[in-house]
Structure 1
Amino acid sequence: MFNQLRNHLARLPRDSRDTLFLLVVIAWVVLPQVGNLPLWCSGLAAGVLLWRGWLAVTVQPLPSRWWLLALLVLTVAATLFTHKTLLGRDAGVTLVVVLLALKTLELRARRDAFVVFFLSFFTMLTNFFFSQSLLTAAAMLVALLGLLTALVNAHMPVGKPPLLQAAKTAGWMALLGAPIMAVLFVLFPRMAPLWGVPGDAMSGRSGLSASMQVGNIASLALDDSIAMRVRFEGAAPRQSDLYFRGPVLSTFDGRDWRPLRSGFPARMQPPANLQVQGPPVKYQVTLEPNNRPWLLVLDATPTPPALSGFAATMTPELQWLVERPIADLVRYSAQSYPDFRHGPPRQMAGLQDYVELPAGFNPRTLQLAADLRRDPRYTGANNAQLVAAVLERLRTGGYTYTLDPGVYGQHTADEFWFDRKEGFCEHIASSFVILMRALDVPARIVTGYQGGEQNAVDGFHVVRQSDAHAWAEVWLASRGWVRVDPTSAVAPGRIGALQRLQAPRGVIAEALLGNVNPALALNLRALWDAVNNSWNQRILNYTQGKQLNLLKNIGFESPSWEDLIYLLIGIVVLASLSGAAWTLWERSRKDPWLRLLEAAARRLQKAGINIPPNSPPRAMAEQLARQAGPQDPSALAVRDWLLRLEAQRYAPPGTTSTRLATLKRELNQLVWPT
């Protein structure tokens, strides 16, 4: 069947074959955008490309312009209905994809093809509006080579030149342009918005949220994507100390946990009163885009993280915030102190907010708190003793740590303490804090990430969305807020060792990966993470600061972006002069006419035509006619070129002949016999 398809494609006219190749390349360019486009746009693009391919295979006429006008009006209206505007990134990309697909229905002449080529190049760039990942870059490199191949193929003369020949030429073009691209990447000034496109604050996804409903962090265990990468200076802290602090949730309405209610008087909120001691832990964080204004740092960080372009502030609950959501990959340095204290050392009015509970929820948990208070063992017990009693209940009461505890009802704490006795970290933390508040112990929930694993390839600690965690803080007299992780009482391995619950594999994943050695799978993932991290650090994180540091290293005392431009101009001028000098030197060494003759002889030899040494153009044309046949169209074109080359040198004075520059250009466009 494959041979039949290949033979059928070989019998197609040149225009049909070239059109099919271009359609395949366009489909490859649009494919990564499917997840970002409206469903109707993806369906329309696929349908139009398939329709155009069918017209090419069956050699049918193209639709009339009235069809195109109707489709254009319909798609513009659909874009306006979907995005409520025709401006902006999402609406613009939708229109570009639609116009590219519709333009393929106008491929009647070379001019139309060139419009499609350059519209495809622009569409290729729009992929980077949504993702600058290594996979996206690799896919667009393939698309670039495909578009260059189609462009080179369109410039070739009549006949059926093999696509492989056009692909080789496109590859050489890309290789010759690579040094120029590298110089531009290194030296072209990073100046927004010229260099980058602002991220869309509504399109990203963050693993953590500004609120917590019992069950939503458990869903993050299904997400194995990377939240951030951390490189420690010196030895890394213990696994049990890796608490990366995120939102602090203090208000509970019976179902959702949220930060302190809006309008809470600032004078009433307990101050941070952060006190640190001991040596700091220094590290650098590469944070993935999350469209949240949060800087995730270890507990506790008294000084602002060093982050270019952002001003960071710390809340009284020790969370670091910036003034706008983080929509791009960012890198910052921080130093944290594992040995710290924070919060008011004595009882104050503001702590009352951390013992409030909504009426009508969790009556059995409230009764449990009352029973504990009446228990003779806890008569006169302080807050620390009550915390220890609840943790002991967690350790010995048959409670389990699970990814799938089922759907909790209205009384989440009651169900955990008395019915299910199983849950994920937020079930356990929420139930613990509710019971603490019922015991009149100020308590709150802290969300963030706990743990991470070190990549043996590059040494970075990789923190994934599946490492999202919720723990508690309780207030103790003379000590302030103290971290208590009730999950460690139920499942110590979750905190002290890298033991994570994993979602069960589906049927397809089990079939593909069921027999893969786990150690091999981990090593491959570590290698891929290291390659991705290298891309992030060296390419995506190549900022203007790094450019200026490069200038310092090569001798500039106080470099600026103007120095970058001067250096770039100097390199361009030097490269141009070097190229011109090379051209003049090469021309001085050999007659240009002889160079063309030798180039033609080499190409004929490569095509299998036996050319004796030192053959003149006419002898080469005659040898070509004998071996290739007098009716071969490509051989006829080459013979005509050889005779015109001969006339250019030996024609009588006054006879009009083809210019040498024209012959050189035509030589590169000839299709050689195969």
Structure 2
Amino acid sequence: MQLLHRLKHLPRDTRDTLFLLLVIAWILLPLVEPLPLWCSAMAALVLLWRSWIAVKGRPLPSRWWLLLLLLLAAGATWYSHHTLMGRDAGVTFIAVLLALKTLEMRARRDAFVVFFLGFFALLSNFFFSQSLLTAASMVIGLLGLLTALVNHHMPVGRPPLLLAARTAAGMALLGAPIMVVLFVLFPRIAPLWGLPGDAMGGRSGLSATVQVGAIASLALDSSVAMRVRFEGAVPAQRDLYFRGPVLSTFDGREWKPLRSSFPQALQLASRLQVSGTPIKYELTLEGNRQPWLPLLDATPEPPTLKGYTTRMDSALQWTTDRPIGELVRLQAQSYTAFRHGPLQQELGLQDMIELPAGYNPRTLQYALEMRRDPRYARADAPTLVAAVLDKLRTGGYRYTLDPGVYGSNTADEFWFDRKEGFCEHIASSFVLLMRALDVPARMVTGYQGGELNGVDGFWTVRQSDAHAWTEVWMAGQGWVRVDPTSAVAPARTGSLQRLLPPRSVVAQALGAISPGFEINLRALWEASNNRWNQWVLNYSQSQQLNLLRNIGFNAPSWEDLGSVLIALVVGVSLLGAAWTQWDRSRQDPWLRLLQAASAKLQRAGLPVAPNTPPRQLALALQGHAGMEGIQDWLLRLESWRYAPKADNRPRTLGTLRKEFGQLRWPQRLPPTA
């Protein structure tokens, strides 16, 4: 209470400065994560320093201090980004400059520079995130800056900030319809429209290579990887495999895409064959700066994705011609019943049984012992797969999010020592054992499962749904999906039960209030985020043209879009002019004419109030040479209103209005006689 009392009685300059500094801190707060730590620390210290100066009434630092800090910031920016150009370096420098500029707010011009730098920094937040939460945060920042700007234009007295905030909110509401119209109709002409390609930098997700234990870290990330909306029936949960990178080369620690020593003609072809009814769906993929499309297994036809060229490789993995750095939406159709790969032995299958020398000797020895067992000496691939899966089910193996750090012999540790691991531990060890048994096998990464949002009907697939499974080649069948994790933890792919990290304090508190409250609140928030993605972030050129089709254009073009925008602007302008004319007609025309006369006399130097009646204006002009005509006109104006039966009363107000324009109103009153 004492602090609030002190803040309430601060001088106006101090109060306004502290409010502006608080708004700047709010604008810079979302930039703490993407920008270097020194930038956030420097900006915070400068803002605290400026607050101390305002509260204590100390003088601002000299320009030498500012020059030193500017050079320090430029050097640190160069050290962090190796350039002063580009998105990251530019936003870093802008954030520091905004903070430093507050140290030289000596004049009105300096304050305006701070305001406009604040608006620029406000926009820069969208270079790193365009989420609904970021947008809501920036709306608050915008209202804060507008409030500070309005308050700055109230130089007299000590107007309350609430008054300036109401004015700013009214301005924002008046401008909102214009912004909506421009958003909907302003042409989106690639590549000028949209965010730079590195706007999604830092997103986590699947990688082109996998170290054993890497996917487990994604289980800690509950951010959304993609959203899926199915047309018609939804596939069974056990069939929700979204295919990502296929990894066939293992160097002892890391799985990588195939690096074959065979010529291209001898490498394996996809030979995809599908059957059954296709599953049609729309997929909204978050930008992750990777070129692959995690489509439902298997997708024979290219998905509909505007702005990108797509291709499928021999391992059924779909990729784009460039990394996806933005939110994209595509339509695809897949078949859960499919067959691919060679049906008979081919030379290219030798790549799928290669093992790195010097690794996992106990796994190799175990495979040798299995082959010496009469039951498996001449066993085919299905029999060996069934035997290994039975070992996983009955051997005391455990599915866990935190199996500890594995050494160089990852398969040996899993099979014989730890007997626990996440999906990639299990899949990698399974593939290595199958290869040791001379059965071609490879590891597939992607996403498995998802969560149905009951609010909007979309399936939400998170980074925590990242999964690794295997494919084993079987004669007469080709590549067959085998998910060894299902043998250890059937609920992982059957009922989609996930291993989750410990919940936050807030989540635990919400769960304690009601078991379903946290889930429903999260579903509502994600449905809102999805609507934001679909209607705002993914509002594209094609949707603009579809809008024109809906209002009657048969074959809409950019010229039609421009015509609609111009027509709407002209129509709104005419409507505004008509409203202005109507509003003026509501006022008393006699009073409006008197106010015009008072304004001319005030500008000429006559000390009168705006509500001075005509006779007093005429009396105030006495003694000034050449004002007789204006005095007579003012008396006749009074007579028209208050003495309708007087002989000198003009017949119409239009006569007085015409005379008003003919009078020679002085620029400066002549001196009195």
TM-score by length of 2: 0.88
The verdict on how the C-alpha distance between 1:83 and 1:264 changes in structure 2, with shifts beyond 3 A counting, is: farther
Deviation at 1:200, TM superposition (A): 1.1
2:187 to 178, 182, 189: 189
Aligned residue among 551, 554, 557 for 1:557: 554
CA distance in structure 2 between the aligned counterparts of 1:164 and 1:387, rounded to whole angstroms? 72
Q: 1:400 to 1:56 in 2, by over 3 A?
A: same
2:585 corresponds, among 584, 588, 603, to 588
Deviation at 1:167, TM superposition (A): 0.6
2:267 paired with 1:269: yes
Q: Is the 8 A contact 2:128 2:200 kept in 1?
A: no
Q: 1:597 to 1:229 in 2, by over 3 A?
A: farther
Please tell me whether residue 646 in structure 1 is matched to residue 643 in structure 2.
no
Equivalent-residue separation in structure 1 for 2:262 and 2:294 (angstroms): 24
CA contact (8 A) 2:260 2:267 kept: no
Alpha-carbon shift at residue 186 of structure 1 (Å): 0.6
| Structure 2 counterpart of 1:55 | 53
Aligned to 2:525: 528
Kindly provide the amino acid, as one letter, of the partner of residue 129 in structure 2. S
Where 1:564 maps in the other structure, the secondary structure is helix
Moved more, 226-235 or 71-80: 71-80
Please give the residue correspondences for 1:247-326 in structure 2 after superposition, counting only pairs within 5 Å.
Answer: 247-261=245-259, 265-326=263-324
Between the two proteins, the alignment pairs up a number of residues equal to: 614
Take 2:582 and 2:611, find their aligned partners in 1: how far apart are those partners?
Answer: 23
Shift of 1:510: 7.3
Separation (CA, whole Å) in 1 of partners of 2:437 and 2:615:
105
Cα displacement (A) at 1:361: 0.9
CA displacement at 1:202 relative to structure 2: 8.2
CA distance, structure 2, for counterparts of residue 413 and residue 300 of structure 1:
29
Contact 1:100 1:120 (8 Å CA) reproduced: yes
Q: Which amino acid aligns with 1:498?
A: L
Shift of 1:110: 1.5
CA distance in 2, matches of 1:171, 1:566: 31
Displacement of 1:439 in angstroms is 0.5
Runs (5+) with no aligned partner, structure 1:
599-616, 618-639, 658-674
Q: CA deviation at 1:411?
A: 1.2
Please state whether the residue corresponding to 1:344 is helix, strand or coil.
coil
CA distance in 1, matches of 2:555, 2:607: 59
Supply the distance in 2 between the matched residues of 1:157 and 1:385 (Cα, whole angstroms): 87
Larger deviation, residues 269-278 vs 67-76: 67-76
- Could you tell me how far 1:193 is from its partner in structure 2? 4.2
The Cα offsets for residues 164-214 of structure 1, whole Å up to 9 and x where unpaired, read as 111111111111111111101110111234332212178232321111111
State how far apart, in whole Å, the 2-side matches of 1:342 and 1:178 are. 54
The residue number in structure 1 matching 2:121 is: 123
Aligned twin of 2:570 = 573
Residues 648 and 199 (structure 1), Cα distance of their counterparts in 2 relative to 1, 3 Å cut: farther
Q: What SS class does the counterpart of residue 21 from structure 2 fall into? A: helix
Give how far 1:593 is off.
7.8
Q: Partners of 2:560 and 2:50 in 1: how far apart?
A: 51
Distance 1:641 1:327, change over 3 A: farther
AA aligned opposite 2:584 = R
Q: Is the contact made by 1:365 and 1:413 (CA closer than 8 Å) also made in structure 2?
A: yes
Secondary structure at the counterpart of residue 36 of structure 1: coil
Identity of aligned residues (%): 69
Q: Superposed, which structure 2 residues align to 1:29-428 within 5 Å? A: 29-200=27-198, 203-261=201-259, 265-428=263-426
CA 38–594 in structure 1, closer or farther in 2 if over 3 Å, else same: farther
Q: Evaluate the alpha carbon distance shift between residue 557 and residue 319 of structure 1 in structure 2; reply closer, same or farther with a 3 A threshold.
A: same
Distance (Å, rounded) in 1 between the aligned partners of 2:43 and 2:241? 47
Give secondary structure in 2 for the equivalent of 1:340. strand
Aligned equivalents of 1:183, 1:10: Cα separation in 2 = 41
**Match for residue 537 of structure 1 among 530, 534, 537:** 534
Distance 2:52 2:610 in 1: 42
Q: Structure 1 residues 651 and 248 mapped into 2: Cα distance closer, same or farther (>3 Å)?
A: same
Measured at CA, do residues 264 and 554 of structure 1 come closer, stay the same or move farther in structure 2, by a change above 3 Å? farther
* TM-score, scaled relative to structure 1: 0.88
Kindly indicate whether the alpha-carbon contact (under 8 Å) linking 1:26 and 1:120 is maintained by their aligned counterparts in 2. Answer: yes
Q: 1:484 to 1:649 in 2, by over 3 A?
A: farther
**Corresponding residue of 1:633:** none
**2: distance between equivalents of 1:597 and 1:109?**
39
Asked if the contact 1:204–1:289 (Cα under 8 Å) also holds between the matched residues in 2, the reply is: no
Describe the superposition over 1:418-477 as per-residue Cα deviations: whole angstroms up to 9, x where unpaired: 111111111111111001000000000000000001111111011111111000000011
CA deviation after TM superposition for structure 1 residue 61, in Å: 1.3
Match for 1:543: what amino acid? Answer: S
Deviation at 1:225, TM superposition (A): 0.9
String of CA shifts for 1:285-342, please: whole Å, max 9, x gaps.
0001111001110110000010000010000000000011010000001100111000
Pair 1:596–1:400, CA change in 2 (3 A): farther
Structure 2's unaligned 5+ residue stretches are 599-605, 632-673
Mapped to 1, the partners of 2:132 and 2:500 lie a distance apart of: 26
